[in-house]
Amino acid sequence: MNKRIEKRLVLKKHIKRQCSKFLLTIILMLIGMIFLKQNPNKEKIMKETLYEKSIPFQKIKLKYEKYFGKILSTEKSIKKTEPVFKEKLTFEKVESYKDGAKLYVTNHYMVPTLESGVIIYIGEKDSLGHTIVIEQIDGVDTYYSNINSNIKLYDYVEKGELLGETNNNTLFLAFQKNGEYLDYKKYI
């Protein structure tokens, strides 16, 4: 009987904590909306920040977890499973191409992620074809081009996880931080 009561108390505590997080989020959002309505200049600054700059999702997530804990604290109830696909990037040859690198891989190569991060862009980029951009945990934006994928915008991917498959035998990679392209040799 004690275990049943203890489980109920833990569940109630968990529900209260989740509700308080939810209410705090709503309150902060409402305060932000009121602040923006009072000063149109702030609205312009916010739009420039949101639409023209890269939002550091990883930093926001780490701050949130520091002050409020995990977004969903289900780690205790879910058993850890091993991923089916956990690979490292392999290629036959690499050469400089535009702002990054052109890698020669096997035809329809299954592309692993180089580092954990959040998907911040999915779409067409210049002459590179279908492109996926991941904001890595170290703040570097990694561009994966010439790739087909079922991944969705704002999904979180782990290092080595399957990102997609190349359209042929080439994969284009580029690395960018704070608007500047970085030397690909440091990352592959």
Q: 12 falls in which pLDDT band (50, 70, 90)?
A: confident
Q: Is the pLDDT of residue 5 over 80?
A: no
pLDDT digits (tens, 9 = 90+) for 50-107: 666 666 777 777 787 887 777 655 555 555 666 677 788 888 999 998 889 999 999 9
Q: Is the pLDDT of residue 144 over 90?
A: yes
| Topology of domain 93-186, CATH | Glucose Permease (Domain IIA) (2.70.70)
CA 83/CA 61 separation, integer angstroms = 23
More confident of the two residues 39 and 15: 15
Q: Is the pLDDT of residue 172 over 80?
A: yes
Classify the phi-psi angles of 163: left when phi > 0, otherwise alpha if psi is within -120 to 50, otherwise beta: alpha
CA 138/CA 132 separation, integer angstroms = 17
The domain segmentation of the chain, as residue ranges, is: 2-53, 93-186
Q: Is the pLDDT of residue 151 over 70?
A: yes
CA 91/CA 172 separation, integer angstroms = 11
